[in-house]
Structure 1
C-alpha cells in the first residue's frame, strides 16, 4: 500500500524548527514511517518555478494537510493572503483531511488575520492547541493513529493509543491525576489546573477517546494498572556475586502506575548501593554520592518503563550484581537505529509517545535526545566504566559499579565501604542502615535524612532505614516521644564509631 502523503504547513519562518522536527519524527517512528510520507517545503531541491505554484501542487498531491498556526500571519500576496491561508483553502477545496495545531499564544498577541484564519479552521477534523515541540509531537502522533484506525488502515491502534474497552473513568485515580497536575505545573508550566475535570485533563493529554481511557491513561493514572496489564511490573533481584547464582539476598516485585514503578525501582537500587561520604574541605556538610550516580540509574529505569513493548508478556527486570547493574526490558530500538547512536545526540522517538509526554511534563524524562549520552558522560565523570546498551531479544542497559575496576588507581577519589572492609562486629548491618549512618550529621529530622539519601517515600525509608537503625542501637531519637512534631535523630556512641569507619576517618 502506498504511503499517505502529509503536507506539513508552509514556508512560514515561525515554525521552521517545528516542521523539521515533525518531518524527522514521522519518518523515524516505526508505525508512522510505515504509513506516512511527510513533506516540507525545505526538502524540495532548488527549481525554477513560482513558489506558490509548487507548494499548492504539493498540497493537491497530498492526503493530509497538517497546519501549524501561530501568532504571525506571514508574507501576503497581492490579494492580501498568506501562503498558510492559501494552503489551507487549497486543502479544503481538494477535500484533504486537515489537522490543525495552534500555538498557545494568547489571542491578543496574534495578527488579526492569523486569528481570523484560526476561526476559519473551526470545523476541521483536529484543531488542538499545543505547548511546545514535545506536545506537538505527541498530539500529531495521536491524530495520525486515529486517522489510521478510522480509515481501517490498521485494525487497532498501537498499544499506548488504543482505547481500552474494559475500562472507564472510574478506573482512573483522581488523586494521582491531581498529583500529576501539581508536579507538571511546577516542572513544565502545565496549562491545566487541579480543579479541572479528569476528563478534560486526559483529553488534553490525548489519553481519552470516545468516552474511554486509552491504555496509556491506565498505565499512568490507573487505580490498579496490573488489573488490565498483568506484565506491567518490575522484578528486582540482588545477586551476591557476578553471576545469577543462589542464594538470592533480596528479591522484590513492584506494581503500580508507571510513575510508581520508576520511584520504587530507583529506591530499591539505591538501597542496595553504598553511599560514600567525602571530606569537609569545601563544605560544612560532608559531600556524598552513591557508587552509581542516581541520575544515571533513574534514566535507565525510566527508559525501560517508558520504552518497553507492553504487548509482550515479559516484565522489566533489574539485576544488581557485585560488579554491575543490568536493566532488561521487552523492547527494541527504533527502526534503523544502532546502540552506538544512543551514545550520541539523537532525536527522541519514544516507543510509547502518549506515555512519554506525561513523563516529560513531570520531568521524569527530558525528551531532548540526550538521556543516554548523559548516562555515558556522567558515568565517566564518576570514574566508572562506560555503560553498555545491548539489543538482543530484549533491550539491556548495563551500568558498572566501582568494584568492576581492578586497580586502586582506577577507583574514584572517594572511600567505598563494603562488609569485607568492616570489622566482624559491624558486618551484619544492612547497606541501608550503613548509608543512613554515613550521612547523619549532628541532629537531623526524617525529611533531611531522606533528602540527603535522595529518597522520596517515607514508608520505605522508615521501614528499611530508620527503624532498623533505631532498633539496632546505631541511632537514637532526640525526644523520647515517637510522634514528637520536632523529632530529630542522632548517632549513638557505637553509631559514631561505625560512621568513622565508613568515612575512613581517624
Structure 2
C-alpha cells in the first residue's frame, strides 16, 4: 500500500516537472544519445538536476526502451565521468529518470570536455573559462603560483623577511633560499611565488594588480564627499596594520577610567576589526583583477569588502562553522606570526567581540563576486562623563556630572572624542610641532580659540601631552594606557 502511494507521488512529481519544461535543473531527452554525458557533466558542475529520457523537447511523453540493455548503456556512459559521482537511475513507467547530484569534487569532465549549466542549456567551457572554473573551485591556488613579473634581486625585501622571522620565532641562521622555499614563497628556479610577493616585496602594487588595501573616509552616509583616502601597498603585514590604524583614527574611541587605570574602548573592538581585515586579505580572490580590498567609513557604518564570495567547497549553510582556505600559503604564514589564532574561528571571534563591546553591530553578506562585513555604528556625538561613588555595602549613590572628582572610592569616567578632536589628533601625529595658528589654518571649520579649547580637553582626558615649553616644545599623542 505504502509502496503504491510512493509510486503515485513520484509519478506526479515527474509529470509536474515535464509540464514545467526544461530549465536549469531539468533536461528532457527523447532518446539516449551522444549528448547525454554532456548534460550529466553540466549538472554535476552546476546545481545538480534530472535528465528524463522518453520525452520530447516540447514536453510530449513518448516513452523509451527501459530494458536491461538500455540501462546498462547508461551505466557504462556514466563511468566516463571524471571524477566518479554517485548517480541514480530510476524507471518510471516508460521513462528513464537519471538524477545527477551537484558534485562535491568539482570540476567534472566527460570525454568531450568540461560543461556547466547555463539556463536550460549545457555549455562547453573554453580554455579561459576552464581556468576560471578551476580557480573558483579552489583547484588552482593563486598564492602557490610563480610570479614571473617579480625580480628577486630588485624586488625582494630582506628586512621584511627578517621581521617576519622574528615574529614567527624562526631561526635566522637557516639559508634564506631554503627558508623561503619551505615557506612556499620561492620556487626551485629561484622565482618568488605570489605569496612571496605579498609578504616580502617593497611595493606589491607594482607587481600585482589590485592586491592592495584601499581605505576611504566619507562625509555623512553617502559616497559623495571624500574626507580622507589611503592606498596601502606595502607588504601584507604592513597593510593590515595600517588599515586597522586608519579605521581606528576615524571611528570613536572612549576612555573608561576605573580607579587610577584608564582603558581604551574603541567603537569597533580591535579584535573584531583586525580579524575582519585579516580575513579580507587572507581569503580574497586574488585572481579577480577588478577590485581591491576596500574599507569604507561613513557616519553610520563601516564596510569592509573583498573580491570573491565564499571559497569553493564552502556551502552557505556551513558559513561560520567550517573553514575553507582559498589561499592556503597566505593563511599558514599569517598563522605563523599569530595574525590569525586558529583556522575556522574568526567569524565566531568577531561576533563575540562585538557582542561584548556593545557599541556596534555586525552583519556578514556575500554573493558570487564579493564578501562584505558591515559594522553599524552607534554614532554618539555628545561627550558624557559618569561618576559612580559607593559609600557603603548597603548604600550607594550614582551621580552624573561633567566635572572630575577625587573623593570617590570607585570612579568610572567615559569620554567620547568628537570628530574635530580626532582631526586634531591626526594632524598632530603628522605635525607634532604645529602651533595653534597652523592647526586652525589646516583643519577645516575651526578657529584658534576652538583649537585652544579642544587641546585643553584632549590634555584633560589624557590622550594628548605637551612636551617642553610653548615655544620650541611639541605635542605627543598618547594611544596606550597610562
* TM value normalised by structure 2: 0.54
Matching of residue 351 in structure 1 with residue 306 in structure 2 = no
User: Which position in structure 2 is the counterpart of 1:463?
Assistant: 430
CA drift of 1:400 comes to 2.3
For each residue in 1:449-482, what CA deviation from the matched residue of structure 2 results, as whole angstroms up to 9, or x when unmatched? xxxxxxxxxxx98316x45598756342147997
Question: Cα–Cα, structure 1 residues 180 and 379, in superposed 2: closer, same or farther, change >3 Å?
Answer: same
Matching of residue 261 in structure 1 with residue 224 in structure 2 = no
- Return the alpha-carbon distance in structure 2 between the equivalents of residues 490 and 216 of structure 1: 36
User: Which position in structure 1 is the counterpart of 2:389?
Assistant: none
More helix by share: 1
- Return the alpha-carbon distance in structure 2 between the equivalents of residues 429 and 365 of structure 1: 33
| Matches for 1:163-312 after TM superposition, within 5 Å | 163-170=146-153, 171-185=155-169, 190=170, 193-211=171-189, 212-244=191-223, 246-281=224-259, 284-312=260-288
For each residue in 1:395-444, what CA deviation from the matched residue of structure 2 results, as whole angstroms up to 9, or x when unmatched? 10112222299xx9xxxx9746354xxxxxxx74434628xxxxxxxxxx
CA drift of 1:339 comes to 5.4
Question: Cα–Cα, structure 1 residues 462 and 428, in superposed 2: closer, same or farther, change >3 Å?
Answer: closer
Question: Cα–Cα, structure 1 residues 231 and 395, in superposed 2: closer, same or farther, change >3 Å?
Answer: same
- SS of residue matched to 2:416: coil
For each residue in 1:16-36, what CA deviation from the matched residue of structure 2 results, as whole angstroms up to 9, or x when unmatched? xxxxxxxxxxxxxx9xx4479
- Return the alpha-carbon distance in structure 1 between the equivalents of residues 84 and 231 of structure 2: 44
State which of 330, 333, 337 in structure 2 corresponds to 1:362: 337
Question: Cα–Cα, structure 1 residues 374 and 404, in superposed 2: closer, same or farther, change >3 Å?
Answer: farther
CA drift of 1:337 comes to 3.3
Q: Which structure has the larger Rg over C-alpha atoms?
A: 2
CA drift of 1:4 comes to 9.5
Structure 1 unaligned residues grouped into runs of 5+ = 6-29, 37-147, 149-153, 420-426, 435-459, 492-506
- SS of residue matched to 2:295: strand
User: Which position in structure 2 is the counterpart of 1:400?
Assistant: 376
- Return the alpha-carbon distance in structure 2 between the equivalents of residues 490 and 332 of structure 1: 39
Question: Cα–Cα, structure 1 residues 177 and 481, in superposed 2: closer, same or farther, change >3 Å?
Answer: farther
- Return the alpha-carbon distance in structure 2 between the equivalents of residues 4 and 209 of structure 1: 33
- Return the alpha-carbon distance in structure 2 between the equivalents of residues 490 and 395 of structure 1: 35
User: Which position in structure 2 is the counterpart of 1:424?
Assistant: none
CA drift of 1:210 comes to 2.5
- Contact between 1:331 and 1:394, CA under 8 Å: does it hold in 2? yes
- Contact between 1:433 and 1:469, CA under 8 Å: does it hold in 2? no
User: Which position in structure 2 is the counterpart of 1:372?
Assistant: 347
- Contact between 1:433 and 1:468, CA under 8 Å: does it hold in 2? no
- Contact between 1:308 and 1:330, CA under 8 Å: does it hold in 2? yes
State which of 426, 430, 445 in structure 1 corresponds to 2:422: 430
- SS of residue matched to 2:215: strand
CA drift of 1:358 comes to 1.0
User: Which position in structure 1 is the counterpart of 2:45?
Assistant: none
- SS of residue matched to 1:195: coil
CA drift of 1:489 comes to 5.0
Structure 2 unaligned residues grouped into runs of 5+ = 1-80, 86-103, 109-130, 132-136, 385-411, 440-451, 456-464
User: Which position in structure 2 is the counterpart of 1:477?
Assistant: 467
- Return the alpha-carbon distance in structure 2 between the equivalents of residues 366 and 380 of structure 1: 19
CA drift of 1:272 comes to 0.6
Question: Cα–Cα, structure 1 residues 174 and 336, in superposed 2: closer, same or farther, change >3 Å?
Answer: closer
- Contact between 1:477 and 1:490, CA under 8 Å: does it hold in 2? no
User: Which position in structure 1 is the counterpart of 2:40?
Assistant: none
Aligned residues: 296
User: Which position in structure 2 is the counterpart of 1:160?
Assistant: 143
- SS of residue matched to 2:379: helix
- Contact between 1:332 and 1:391, CA under 8 Å: does it hold in 2? yes
For each residue in 1:85-140, what CA deviation from the matched residue of structure 2 results, as whole angstroms up to 9, or x when unmatched? xxxxxxxxxxxxxxxxxxxxxxxxxxxxxxxxxxxxxxxxxxxxxxxxxxxxxxxx
- Return the alpha-carbon distance in structure 2 between the equivalents of residues 366 and 4 of structure 1: 37
